[in-house]
């Protein structure tokens, strides 16, 4: 019987979904005695090694797990690493689709890309650690570092990437192990090759489809799309719907499935009205996430309402509890908007010292920083060309002599705060966010292209990956964003929902421009 180890943290739901999708049955290890019945075992790691081990130890599972591995029964471990990447030449965490080059030069899956999301790894250094040759199975290059992306020794197989989130390539690898776990461990027939650094790494730029979700006036959750964050119909002649109605571009789960099939590298669901009141009890977005996660095997980010809240029965829910509910529903990352602004305001009021209490910190501590995205909703504030105010160091000057800075907002752009986008981005980096989703209220829904000045400003201010968002109107706009600002990913909503530009079209344009993308 196949067992999965649910160690109480991390996203075990994605793995369970993919194993079900492959037609296999499994049971959960719930107590130490369950190990005795397991004939094969998968450990779905995500994120922080320390908290994973603490959870295992607290539940009395650590020793039985070691005992299981010593017994020689097949074991598949996922993701957890222990040496930190250097962020001198690249953003950390390493997030996205990269290759995994097999050391035994076997021809299997030669062009496959797998999804990685981690700050820690095991570095590949055969001169310093010759014994690693016994168990290193594949390597991957990120920046100018080579690390071990798959290991195998005896009954143990492990991947640094997430097969359950690596689309068809990941499902194929899992299926192979599930069919014949011992075969994966058989010694390679082909001779082993030594890997050396190449001038460029294999990490691809990611294309993300985003669905802004809210209830329409009939109470149904729909994917909507605004212009500069206004999601209500303005022209009754343009739609069958009355002016003032919430724009309805489709059902979230059906659209998510469509984008998965179309080759989106990631998907994002934002609950855009959650700033009003967003209890955890009977939260309809949880059902949406659950249903979407059963159908798609690429990373899914959920945002909106990740904050401390109170249920209708008066039960207080911490932001960590809210995030945990989404992770267990099948989300891989949570995105924090308004609450991140307040957290950085508090951080700055304390003189820049983190105190471990913010939603970013508590969630990153439990799930690893790579699971925490911060969504920023900035707006341009025009100033005179001779501006000498507090944001002068981050002023952007247009070719026409205009000047502006970027101000942070909360509650979906409804309230501006005395905080600049650079202050926010650097603050959330300190607090432990893993990635920035950088929207632009000015460009949202306009199709005018991403705000390249904004992207370049934030990109050079932080070490964590930046996702460009808002304004995409053509495939060429994605080329501009990657080529001119170095962002790691780009997201669009309207053009994909209205089928004006396809994800494949965007990737073709990027490939033609020499930008590395996943097929």
Query: Closest separation between CB of residue 490 and ligand 1PR, Å?
Result: 9
Q: Residue 290 class from Cβ within 10 Å (0-12 exposed, 13-18 middle, 19+ buried)? A: middle
Residues forming beta bridges with residue 97, ordered by sequence position: 115
Residue with the two structure tokens 């991403």: 450
Query: Closest separation between CB of residue 184 and ligand 1PR, Å?
Result: 40
Query: Looking at 101, 145, 212, 435, which residue is catalytic?
Result: 212
Least Cα distance to 247 among 498, 50, 500, 464 occurs for 498
List the interface residues with ligand 1PR, window 292-311 (CB under 6 A): 303-306
Annotated active-site residue 212? The verdict is: yes
Nearer to ligand 1PR, 299 or 445 (CB): 445
Nearer to ligand 1PR, 11 or 338 (CB): 338
Nearer to ligand 1PR, 48 or 472 (CB): 472
Nearer to ligand 1PR, 201 or 379 (CB): 379
Binding mask 140-179 for ligand 1PR (x = CB under 6 A): ----------------------------------------
Q: Residue 421 class from Cβ within 10 Å (0-12 exposed, 13-18 middle, 19+ buried)? A: buried
Q: Is residue 493 at the binding interface for ligand 1PR, with CB under 6 A as the rule? A: yes
Nearer to ligand 1PR, 79 or 372 (CB): 372
Select the span of 55-63, 88-96, 293-301, 467-475 touching ligand 1PR (CB under 6 A): 467-475
Annotated active-site residue 227? The verdict is: no
Annotated active-site residue 210? The verdict is: no
Tell me which DSSP letter residue 347 carries.
H
Q: Select from 93, 299, 445, 465 the one that contacts ligand 1PR (CB under 6 A).
A: 445
Query: Looking at 266, 377, 442, 444, which residue is catalytic?
Result: 377
Q: Is the peptide bond before 43 cis (omega within 30 degrees of 0)?
A: no
Nearer to ligand 1PR, 6 or 377 (CB): 377
Q: Select from 332, 444, 451, 480 the one that contacts ligand 1PR (CB under 6 A).
A: 444
H helices within 121-213, ranges in order? Answer: 167-179, 181-184
Annotated active-site residue 162? The verdict is: yes
Say what angle helices 421-431 and 338-349 make with each other, to 10 degrees: 80
Select the span of 136-144, 171-179, 191-199, 272-280 touching ligand 1PR (CB under 6 A): 272-280
Residues belonging to the chain: 519
Q: Is residue 206 at the binding interface for ligand 1PR, with CB under 6 A as the rule? A: no
Nearer to ligand 1PR, 212 or 332 (CB): 212
CA distances (Å), origin 155, targets 41, 42, 68, 516: 10, 12, 10, 35
Residue 482 has which token pair?
Answer: 């990657």
Return the CA Rg of the chain. 23
Q: Which residue has the closest beta carbon to ligand 1PR?
A: 412
Nearer to ligand 1PR, 454 or 493 (CB): 493
Q: Residue 365 class from Cβ within 10 Å (0-12 exposed, 13-18 middle, 19+ buried)? A: middle
Annotated active-site residue 79? The verdict is: yes
SS3 451: coil
Q: Select from 335, 407, 423, 485 the one that contacts ligand 1PR (CB under 6 A).
A: 335
Q: How far apart are CA 16 and CA 390, in angstroms?
A: 51
CA distances (Å), origin 363, targets 52, 84, 143, 357, 388: 13, 19, 27, 10, 38
CA distances (Å), origin 39, targets 6, 17, 69: 16, 20, 11
List the interface residues with ligand 1PR, window 337-376 (CB under 6 A): 337-339, 375
Query: Looking at 55, 162, 201, 477, which residue is catalytic?
Result: 162
Torsion on CA atoms 22, 28, 29, 35, rounded to nearest 10: -50
Q: Is residue 212 at the binding interface for ligand 1PR, with CB under 6 A as the rule? A: yes
Catalytic residues: 79, 162, 164, 212, 377
Task: Provide the binding-site residues for ligand 1PR, judged by CB under 6 A.
Answer: 210, 212, 225-226, 229, 231, 270, 272, 274-275, 303-306, 335-339, 375, 377, 412, 439, 444-445, 469-472, 492-494
């Amino acid at each position: 019987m196949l067992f999965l180890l649910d160690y109480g943290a991390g996203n075990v739901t994605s793995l369970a979904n993919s194993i079900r999708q492959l037609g296999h049955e499994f049971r959960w290890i719930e107590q130490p005695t369950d190990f005795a019945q397991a004939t094969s075992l998968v450990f779905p790691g995500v994120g922080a090694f320390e908290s994973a081990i603490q959870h295992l130890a607290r539940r009395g599972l650590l020793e039985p797990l070691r005992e299981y591995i010593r017994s020689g029964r097949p074991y598949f471990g996922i993701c957890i690493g222990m040496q930190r990447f250097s962020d001198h030449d690249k953003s950390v965490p390493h997030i996205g689709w990269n290759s995994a080059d097999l050391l035994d030069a076997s021809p299997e899956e030669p062009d496959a890309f797998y999804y990685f999301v981690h700050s820690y790894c095991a570095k590949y250094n055969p001169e310093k650690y010759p014994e690693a040759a016994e168990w290193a199975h594949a390597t991957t290059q990120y920046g100018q570092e080579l690390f071990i992306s798959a290991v195998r020794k005896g009954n143990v197989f492990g991947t640094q990437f997430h097969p359950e989130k690596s689309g068809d390539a990941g499902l194929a690898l899992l299926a192979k192990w599930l069919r014949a776990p011992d075969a994966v461990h058989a010694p390679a027939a082909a001779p082993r090759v030594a890997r050396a650094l190449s001038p460029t790494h294999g990490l691809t730029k990611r294309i993300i489809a985003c669905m802004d979700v809210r209830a329409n006036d009939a109470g149904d959750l729909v994917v909507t799309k605004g212009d500069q964050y206004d999601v209500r119909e303005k022209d009754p002649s343009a739609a069958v719907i009355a002016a003032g109605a919430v724009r309805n571009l489709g059902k979230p789960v059906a659209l998510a499935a469509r984008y998965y099939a179309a080759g989106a590298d990631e998907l994002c669901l934002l609950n855009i009205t959650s700033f009003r009141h967003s209890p955890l009890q009977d939260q309809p977005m949880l059902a949406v996430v659950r249903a979407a996660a059963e159908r798609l095997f690429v990373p899914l980010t959920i945002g909106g309402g990740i904050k401390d809240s109170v249920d209708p029965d008066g039960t207080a829910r911490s932001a960590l509890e809210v995030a945990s509910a989404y992770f267990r529903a099948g989300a891989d990352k949570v995105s924090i908007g308004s609450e991140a602004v307040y957290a950085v305001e508090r951080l700055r009021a304390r003189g820049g010292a983190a105190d471990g209490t913010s939603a970013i910190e508590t969630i990153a501590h439990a799930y690893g920083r790579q699971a925490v995205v911060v969504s920023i909703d900035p707006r341009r504030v025009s100033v005179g060309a001779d501006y000498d105010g507090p944001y002068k160091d981050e002023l952007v000057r247009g070719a026409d002599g205009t000047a502006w800075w970027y101000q942070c907002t909360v509650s979906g752009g409804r309230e501006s705060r005395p905080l600049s986008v650079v202050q926010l981005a650097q603050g959330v980096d300190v607090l432990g966010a893993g990635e920035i989703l950088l929207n632009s209220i000015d460009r949202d829904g306009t199709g005018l292209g991403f705000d390249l000045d904004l992207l370049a400003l934030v990109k050079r201010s932080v070490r964590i990956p930046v996702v460009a968002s808002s304004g995409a109107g053509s495939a060429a706009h994605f080329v501009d964003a990657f080529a001119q600002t170095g962002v790691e990913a780009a997201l669009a909503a309207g053009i994909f929902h209205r089928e004006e530009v396809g994800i494949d079209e965007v990737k073709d344009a990027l490939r033609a421009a020499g930008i590395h993308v996943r097929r």
